[in-house]
Chains A and B, each alone.
Chain A
Amino acid sequence: MKRAVVITISVVSLALVLYPIVWLISASFTPVEDLVAHMRQLFPGGITSDGYSQAFDGVGGSSFWTFLTNSLIVSGGAVVGNVVSCSLAAYAFARLKFRLSGPLFAFSLLTIMLPAHVTLIPQYVVFQQLGLVDTFVPLILPKLLATDAFFVFLMVQFMRGIPYELDEAARIDGCGPIRNFRYVVLPLSQPALVTTAIFTFIWTWNDFFSQLIYLSSTEKYTIPLGLRLFIDQTSSSSYGAMFAMSVLSLVPIGLFFLAFQRFLVAGVATTGLKG
């Protein structure tokens, strides 16, 4: 095919693919009375920021800033947890010899395929009995214990690519495994750490299921749960706020995407992250 033809087809299909995003942004600036017309036409008439001021006021008695803070705590905690715990486990699997290394790593790979539902209910019962439901602990603690097996796998793959001669050199210079990890392997694994951090942030930011289960009071709600409150509101007057808050909820992902798109796409291409 001619290059011009390929580019034309690409542009047209890209416009189609990005249409829902443009639609949402346009809807968030459309006055409520024009939303019916908006169904057929982007930016049908006036432009308003009413939706945004309503969105910042919040929904269900909590302000947008509460949801934002909670989402940042949960996502930030998950990022720190995953980066620390997965890199520790990956170092053991990739660079240290121990007897159960093979079977344990195979088990770790299997859990990637495991649906969360088979562990969900006992986990919930335990957290409930410890009085930790409606706190952020059930959302962050599993990340500190490297339960996102995918990232362990990603880092193992990466760490295996670092030349083993470096370990040898470090050992001769008197570094034990701990300092070898801290000063040799960890700094060289930076790309894998960054990929893990970005994907953990975005996935946790978007995560709905576990936040729905564990958080029950509106002052603990994260952004996805705050958005969900709009479903129950039947009056169309809240549509502006709903669309505005939806756009606001996507801003951090959009920024991450713009800043790290190379990392993201390379991460998907080389490891098959679901993205």
Chain B
Amino acid sequence: MVLAERVTPAPVRSAAEGAPPRRPTRSQGVAYLFLGPWLLGAIGLTVAPMVVSLYLSFTDYDLFNTPNWVGFDNYAKLFGDDPRYLKSVGVTLRYVVVSVPLKLVLALAVALLLNSLRGKGQAFFRSAFYAPSLLGASVGLALAWRAIFDTWIDTPDTALTTIVLLSAWQFGAPMVIFLAGLQQIPRDMLDAAAVDGAGWWRRLFSIILPMLSPVLFFNLVLETIHAFQAFTQAFIVSGGRGGPADSTLFYTLYLYERGFTEFRMGSASAMAWVLLVVIAVVTAVLFRTSRYWVFYGDER
């Protein structure tokens, strides 16, 4: 009996072995091994915190006491009962709307200029114009900016302008991308247009800009997303407080103040989610409009 009992399960097992293997292949297992750190980060440092911060945005969490559910209170207060919040929204929108086009126009102008140079000269100027993109993001340079423009920074009407200029000054990265795009435009196409009598402006608007539109779109999306999140320059130039008279109270600056000096984490989380939604909507709108003005090579 004992022996029979031991033997009977055996055929069942062998039938299971005969079935197609259910476990992932070796390559699948190894893939997740390579992906391990990334997965851990994606879940532990991105997805879970996003869910938690969405939850916190509906609470009165203050870092020290257990959070209480307050519904849409944080959101309602931001838009209904917080003039400084609305001010920070206005400052940030003005910054995005002015600094991004200004930076892109500068980048395009310099790229066009350098594109008419060839060889070593172009390589030298390209690197040199790119340098501020690396240096300009630093606290050290923001301090210099603060000293150079100190009278402007003390005046509410012009303080934001200095930060816009500091951002536009870092046009190097989009310039390098534009230049790479310009070099993809077939030379004979431009030459043919010139032979047919198209002047410089005509060639710019009828050939160069349409051919460059995917690159322009890429730069526009990237710079817009970054501009919404600008922090360091505003913090340093305004002395950390968004002054004078809140004229440089950037959105992220106010979020920092709310979360990390007032410790109103619930409200700060709500601000972060509003920022995410705004960036998502703006990006979606840009993608929507792109079909009207961005031309890819495979279209006519």
Complex formed: what's the CA distance from A128 to B94 in Å?
Answer: 35
Complex formed: what's the CA distance from A208 to B228 in Å?
Answer: 16
Show 24 A/B contacts (Cβ-Cβ < 8 Å), sorted by A: A6-B113, A14-B129, A20-B144, A21-B131, A91-B34, A96-B27, A108-B42, A113-B280, A115-B229, A117-B272, A117-B275, A122-B49, A122-B53, A142-B41, A146-B41, A176-B30, A203-B137, A209-B232, A227-B140, A228-B139, A246-B143, A247-B140, A268-B173, A274-B222
Let me know if A118 is at the binding interface, CB within 8 A: yes
Let me know if A230 is at the binding interface, CB within 8 A: yes
**Which residue of chain A lies nearest to B37 when distances are taken between CB atoms in the complex?**
A85
Contact between chains at A85 and B272 (CB < 8 Å): no
Q: A123-B49, A224-B139, A253-B138 are in contact. Are A118 and B28 (CB under 8 A)?
A: no
- What 7 A-B pairs come out closest when comparing CB atoms? A145-B41, A246-B140, A275-B173, A89-B38, A98-B31, A119-B49, A122-B49
- How far in angstroms is the closest Cβ of chain A from B221? 9
Q: Which of A7, A88, A120 contacts B121 (CB 8 A)?
A: A7
- How far in angstroms is the closest Cβ of chain A from B227? 11
Q: Which of A10, A88, A121, A274 contacts B125 (CB 8 A)?
A: A10
Contact between chains at B28 and A99 (CB < 8 Å): yes
Q: Select the stretch in A44-52, A72-80, A257-265 that faces chain B.
A: A257-265
Complex formed: what's the CA distance from A93 to B28 in Å?
Answer: 11
Contact between chains at A121 and B56 (CB < 8 Å): yes
Let me know if B236 is at the binding interface, CB within 8 A: yes
Chain A residues in 8 Å Cβ range of B143:
227, 230-231, 242-243, 246
Contact between chains at B177 and A272 (CB < 8 Å): yes
Contact between chains at A89 and B37 (CB < 8 Å): yes
Residues of chain A in range 183-238 having any CB-CB distance to chain B below 8 Å: 202-203, 205-206, 208-209, 212-213, 223-224, 227-228, 230-231
Chain B residues in 8 Å Cβ range of A93:
35
Chain A residues in 8 Å Cβ range of B145:
20
Contact between chains at B272 and A120 (CB < 8 Å): yes
Q: A6-B116, A145-B37 are in contact. Are A113 and B279 (CB under 8 A)?
A: yes
- How far in angstroms is the closest Cβ of chain B from A190? 18
Q: A113-B283, A243-B144, A269-B179 are in contact. Are A125 and B117 (CB under 8 A)?
A: no
Q: Is the interface of B mostly helix, strand, loop or mixed?
A: helix
Chain A residues in 8 Å Cβ range of B180:
269-270
Chain B residues in 8 Å Cβ range of A146:
37-38, 41
Let me know if B209 is at the binding interface, CB within 8 A: no
Q: What is the interface size of chain B, counting residues whose CB is below 8 A from a CB of the partner?
A: 89
Chain A residues in 8 Å Cβ range of B48:
122
Most chain B CB within 10 A, of A108, A113, A145, is at: A145
Let me know if B176 is at the binding interface, CB within 8 A: yes
Mark B residues whose CB is within 8 Å of A: 24, 26-28, 30-32, 34-38, 40-42, 44-46, 48-50, 52-54, 56, 63, 110, 113-114, 116-117, 121, 125-135, 137-141, 143-145, 147-148, 169, 172-173, 176-177, 179-180, 218-219, 222, 225-226, 228-229, 231-232, 235-236, 239-240, 252, 255-256, 259-260, 265, 268-269, 271-273, 275-276, 279-280, 283
Contact between chains at A115 and B276 (CB < 8 Å): yes
Most chain A CB within 10 A, of B49, B256, B265, is at: B49
Q: A113-B225, A118-B272, A146-B41 are in contact. Are A88 and B34 (CB under 8 A)?
A: yes
Chain A residues in 8 Å Cβ range of B176:
265, 268-269, 275
Complex formed: what's the CA distance from A212 to B129 in Å?
Answer: 29
Contact between chains at B27 and A97 (CB < 8 Å): yes
**Which residue of chain B lies nearest to A211 when distances are taken between CB atoms in the complex?**
B139
Contact between chains at A114 and B35 (CB < 8 Å): no
Contact between chains at A209 and B231 (CB < 8 Å): yes
Complex formed: what's the CA distance from A117 to B114 in Å?
Answer: 38
Q: A108-B42, A224-B138 are in contact. Are A1 and B228 (CB under 8 A)?
A: no
Contact between chains at B222 and A272 (CB < 8 Å): yes
Q: A18-B128, A113-B283, A274-B226 are in contact. Are A206 and B144 (CB under 8 A)?
A: no
**Which residue of chain B lies nearest to A222 when distances are taken between CB atoms in the complex?**
B139
Complex formed: what's the CA distance from A27 to B148 in Å?
Answer: 10
Chain A residues in 8 Å Cβ range of B273:
118
**Which residue of chain A lies nearest to B41 when distances are taken between CB atoms in the complex?**
A145
Chain B residues in 8 Å Cβ range of A124:
259-260
- How far in angstroms is the closest Cβ of chain B from A171? 10
Chain B residues in 8 Å Cβ range of A123:
45, 49
Let me know if A9 is at the binding interface, CB within 8 A: yes
Contact between chains at A208 and B231 (CB < 8 Å): yes
| Besides the known contacts A9-B113, A181-B34, 10 further A-B residue pairs in the complex with CB atoms under 8 A apart | A6-B117, A85-B38, A88-B34, A99-B24, A115-B272, A125-B52, A224-B232, A231-B240, A253-B134, A275-B133
